[in-house]
Amino acid sequence: MYEPEREVIEILKRNEIDVVSTLPCEKISALLQLVALDQAFCHVGLNREENGVGLSAGAFIAGGRPLMLIQSTGIGTMINTIMSLTVTYRLPLPIIASWRGVYEEQIEAQVPFGKALPKLLDALELKYTIIEDASQMGLVEEAIQDAFYNERPHITLISPRTWEIENAIEDHTVPHQKTTHKFVYERVSKAPEMSRYDAIRIISEYLTEEAVIANIGVPSKELCAAKDRDLNFYMLGSLGQATPIGLGVSLKSKRETMVLDGDGSLLMSNFLPIVAEKQPENLSIVCLDNGTWGSTGDQPAPYMDMELMALSAGMENTQKANTEEELRSALERLYEAAGPRFLHVVVKPGNVNVENIKLRAPQIKRRFIAAMRHHTQ
């Protein structure tokens, strides 16, 4: 039993896959459980597929070999992130997808996207392989090797006919435990004094050997203007993926990792519960909260007390800073406790007119990887 599933596991191990991010599909439930139970893999259960694209990017640039295991419908939510992050930076991303909507599909809503998926991938010039039955499972290995050799995404669409009909294995699901949570949260809301660029310049003074992931657009340009470093990873696109990238880096490196994220980006990704679950001790998330979509014209963003959101997600080590004095105090005490850490910095709306980053995306990737390998801690 489970021979196709176990063959996939052996393929992953032969190819040194070490970070596997997943979202469920009933057709591959046995494979998902085997991955989750195998200590050879760092398994990350996702809440949205595109967050796995960012996580995989971070894991790779920190020295890991990531792979995603999902249902094919999730590719629809991943397309922009794949194109603006994986393709733009030339990153390897093998994706194993249970191909829904094409073989004895019982759910009508799966059919339109599933049938159109190969044409969509062709239009985007994304490499893919179709597996119709278990005899073709060796193609998974070729797809993984192609993704890493050619630094590109390679999607393997596996028909449900491939798997055993009775593919359930012993259920190791951990149910929610009965718990009681009680805390008192009191914060005085102050008018922000700093601009985002002010805050970034202050933060840059404290950077030593940290790997830094800078949020999309203007925040990346502002960090580059304040203190360009080989250990800075500048995001040129893929809104919402700064913290997923940061988690990926922290999972595959002992180096302290800092994310300069924004309120809109964090609200979009809803990724903090995943961070809280994985509990990376070397990850600090700095939320530069200007209350707007800053890089696109300062349109108002939905309001949320971001520190409270972090606490509710399960992050226990949080701080808030409204002034330069508070920010400096928080940065000086940042590493007194293990991560994950969340620093909520309230800043004024507005963008500083700084130069565009002169590096192309693959150059940003290559110098970051080299710095991660060669800088001593």
pLDDT higher than 60, residue 168: no
Taking residues 66-76, report their average pLDDT.
97
pLDDT higher than 60, residue 180: yes
Domains and their CATH numbers in the chain: 3-162 (3.40.50.970), 196-374 (3.40.50.970)
The Cα–Cα gap between 16 and 30 comes to 21
Predicted local distance difference test score (pLDDT) of residue 173: 61
The Cα–Cα gap between 315 and 247 comes to 14
pLDDT higher than 70, residue 348: yes
The Cα–Cα gap between 141 and 35 comes to 16
Q: Give the pair of three-digit tokens for residue 224.
A: 């580059």
Predicted local distance difference test score (pLDDT) of residue 24: 92
Taking residues 18-34, report their average pLDDT.
94
The Cα–Cα gap between 54 and 42 comes to 15
Contacts of 103 (CB under 8 A, 6+ apart): 159, 160, 161
pTM of the model: 0.94
Contact 348, 194 (CB under 8 A): yes
pLDDT tens digit sequence for 85-95: 999 999 999 99
Taking residues 174-188, report their average pLDDT.
72
Residues in the chain: 377
pLDDT higher than 70, residue 154: yes
Q: Calculate the average pLDDT of the chain.
A: 92
Q: Which residue in 226, 216, 66, 239 sits closest to 154, CA to CA?
A: 66
Predicted local distance difference test score (pLDDT) of residue 17: 98
**What is the percentage of the chain residues whose pLDDT exceeds 90?**
80
- Computed from CA positions of residues 28, 31, 37, 40, in that sequence, does the dihedral angle turn out positive or negative? negative
Residue whose structure tokens are 């500048």: 234
Taking residues 345-374, report their average pLDDT.
93
Q: What are phi and psi of 10, to 5 degrees?
A: -65, -35
pLDDT grade for 374, boundaries at 50, 70 and 90: confident
pLDDT higher than 80, residue 169: no
pLDDT higher than 80, residue 338: yes
Contacts of 139 (CB under 8 A, 6+ apart): 129, 131, 156
pLDDT higher than 80, residue 170: no
Predicted local distance difference test score (pLDDT) of residue 183: 76
Residue whose structure tokens are 């509990």: 279
When mean pLDDT is compared across 16-25, 129-138, 167-176, 209-218, the lowest value belongs to: 167-176
pLDDT tens digit sequence for 189-247: 788 899 999 999 999 999 999 999 999 989 999 999 999 999 999 999 899 999 999 99
Predicted local distance difference test score (pLDDT) of residue 377: 42
